[in-house]
Structure 1
Amino acid sequence: MLDDSTLTLDALTAGVSVFQRRDGHRFSSDDMMTAFVAAEVCPAPTTVLDLGCGLGSVLLHLAWTMPAAALVGVEAQAVSFALLQRNIAHNDFGSRVTVYHGDLRDPAVRARIGGPYDLVTGTPPYFPPSTATDALDRQRAYARVEYRGGVEAYIATGAGALADDGWMVLCGDADAVHRTSAAAEQYGLALVSETVVLPRAGRAPLFSVWVLRHRDAAGHAGCATRRVALRDEHGDRTATAKALKAFSGFAER
Structure 2
Amino acid sequence: MYNVLKYLKTKYTFMQKKIIILVLASFIRMSGQVGINTTNPKGVLDIVSTTSGVIIPRLANPGTILAPVEGMMVYDTTNKSLRYHDGVSWSSLIVTKLTKPNEGVVKINAGGAGAGTKPNWSNVSANTTRQVTYSLPLVYATAPTTSWPENSLISDVRIFAGNQFLENGVLGQVHQWRLIVNYTKSSNILSQDIRFILRNPLSGFRSEISGVIPSGKTSGILVYNFTTIADGISLPAPLGTGGGYILEWVASDDITTISIDSLTRISFHKD
Q: Give the TM-score range, shorter chain.
A: under 0.3
Q: Which has the higher strand share?
A: 2
The TM-score with structure 2 as length reference comes to 0.23
Q: Which has the higher helix share?
A: 1
Give the number of the structure with larger relative contact order, counting CA–CA contacts within 8 Å between residues 6 or more apart. 2
The TM-score with structure 1 as length reference comes to 0.24
